[in-house]
Amino acid sequence: MLTSTEEDSKFFFDPGTRDKVTYGQLKERFVLDGDTGLWLLPLPQDMVLEVDDHTAVALRAMKVPVGAGRFRGLSISLWDLLHSEYVGLHKRRELAALCQSGRATALRQVVTAVTTLVEASERQPSQATFRGLRKQLSANDLFRSQLIDKKTLDELSQGKKTVQEVAEMDHVRRYLEGGSFIAGVLIQDTKEKMSISEALRRNVLRPGTALVLLEAQAATGFLIDPVENRKLTVQEAFAAGMFGRETYQKLLSAERAVTGYTDPYTGEQISLFQAMKKDLIVREHGIRLLEAQIATGGIIDPVHSHRVPVHVAYQRGYFDEEMNRVLEDPSDDTKGFFDPNTHENLTYMQLLERCVEDPETGLYMLQVVKKGETYVYIDEATRQALQSKTTEMHVGMFAQQVVSFWDLLSSRTSQRKGRKSLSRGTKPGMSA
């Protein structure tokens, strides 16, 4: 199985540790470049502890519970801690010599030294705070979630980088704000745009179709008014008269995917996935909301009020391999959204791919066509064909990269120039 960590699936080699690993294990050892947002594999020069094989085995076998930093709450091998960003090159060499000394207390001294370094990073006097989905979060919160690296954390503390500069990094903005959302409805013939709630009020969308889309908005951060280009909490949208009390109660429930569900046994705030595991939310409903979160930028950590990368979600118990397999298989279980034009059940991502971008706001709008009109979208077969064909780019945002035609057509520039007109996936319009 692809998720197995047995020897027969360890096809990759870590040049830094000389281990055979799976791709997923190797990816966890990447280092985030604070300037570009790219994940880089450290090269072995001056990186690997120069110790004998016996000592290396002992370091890998010793697990250290970590109470601070990005490994908070985990037990990490002393080998991995020594190769982490907390230990500088000179300190690593010093500790390597201590490991090789043969003294009985050497490893305990190394553990103390490393944990002290990790804890010291938590005491940095950085006053930098960032705007999360519902509350402010610290630079250390971003570091623990692996959204910024140690270099960027230090630069924030030293005033070398501002909060605005870091928040505007593409990879940081994605996890703080999210990505593409199904924001509203666009009437194809008149080009009139409206919110999902307005489309419900005017019978442009059926009640079930509209409610599912509103729940997805609530579960991914905010309800969206695409006409005014505003994001609102469920409470704010209700106060603005966007929907009635019955819908309000349902959307409050969906919004807990952002603010957290209350564990009835501990009183703690838990994530959407954890609520599903505890049967606090119906599985089919939870899958629909979780798929929408992933499609719009990442799984939401309700405690820290921002999205997190998948591997961090695994560490915090917000996701697991079984759910990953469920969501990777676009079966009826995951097709919780409805195309009002073709009457197909789709995943959130599939429906999002059929939306068009509003050139004024950059928001993605679900087209609704009248009966008899041509409904143009990129179907699954066309999408796969575009993904399979690649080209090397020499200019623009993809310069010096080999990219698929799908990525090119999905870029903001191509969408503005009429991505849909390049497709061949068309369907006759049906009633919404």
**What is the spatial distance between Cα 280 and Cα 286, in angstroms, rounded to a whole number?**
10
The strand pairing partners of 262, in sequence order, are 269
Amino acid identity, position 84: S
pLDDT digits 0-9 by tens, 365-384: 999 988 777 777 766 667 67
Structure confidence at residue 75 (pLDDT): 85
**Half-sphere exposure (CA, 13 Å, Cβ side) for 356?**
23
Q: Is the pTM of this model over 0.75?
A: no
Residue 424 token pair: 């061949």
Helix, strand, coil content of the chain in percent (nearest 5): 45, 15, 40
**What is the spatial distance between Cα 86 and Cα 158, in angstroms, rounded to a whole number?**
17
Report helix angle 283-295 to 321-328, nearest 10. Answer: 80
pLDDT digits 0-9 by tens, 12-21: 545 555 455 6
The confidence band for 2, taking pLDDT boundaries of 50, 70 and 90, is very low
Residue 186 token pair: 């666009």
pLDDT digits 0-9 by tens, 291-344: 999 999 899 999 999 999 888 898 889 998 888 888 887 666 678 899 999 899
**Half-sphere exposure (CA, 13 Å, Cβ side) for 355?**
25
pLDDT digits 0-9 by tens, 186-242: 998 889 999 999 999 999 999 999 999 999 999 999 999 999 999 999 999 999 999
In this structure, the number of other CB atoms found within 10 A of the CB of residue 352 comes to 20
In this structure, the number of other CB atoms found within 10 A of the CB of residue 356 comes to 18
Q: By the 8 A CB rule, do 334 and 287 touch?
A: yes
User: Which has the closest alpha carbon to 177: 233, 219, 220?
Assistant: 220
Phi and psi of 220, rounded to 5°? -110, 5
Q: What is the mean pLDDT of residues 394-416?
A: 66
**What is the spatial distance between Cα 257 and Cα 280, in angstroms, rounded to a whole number?**
12
**What is the spatial distance between Cα 312 and Cα 290, in angstroms, rounded to a whole number?**
15
Structure confidence at residue 415 (pLDDT): 41
Domain limits of the chain?
A: 7-122, 129-176, 180-337, 370-432
In this structure, the number of other CB atoms found within 10 A of the CB of residue 286 comes to 20
**What is the spatial distance between Cα 294 and Cα 314, in angstroms, rounded to a whole number?**
13
User: Which has the closest alpha carbon to 115: 64, 149, 55, 150?
Assistant: 64
DSSP category for residue 432: -
**What is the spatial distance between Cα 222 and Cα 211, in angstroms, rounded to a whole number?**
14
With a CB cutoff of 8 Å and minimum separation 6, the contacts of 40 are 30, 31, 32, 33
**What is the spatial distance between Cα 233 and Cα 134, in angstroms, rounded to a whole number?**
9
Residue 158 token pair: 């030293």
With a CB cutoff of 8 Å and minimum separation 6, the contacts of 111 are 62, 64, 78
**What is the spatial distance between Cα 288 and Cα 327, in angstroms, rounded to a whole number?**
9
Q: By the 8 A CB rule, do 48 and 16 touch?
A: yes
Task: Report the CATH fold assignment for 180-337.
Answer: beta-hairpin-alpha-hairpin repeat (3.90.1290)
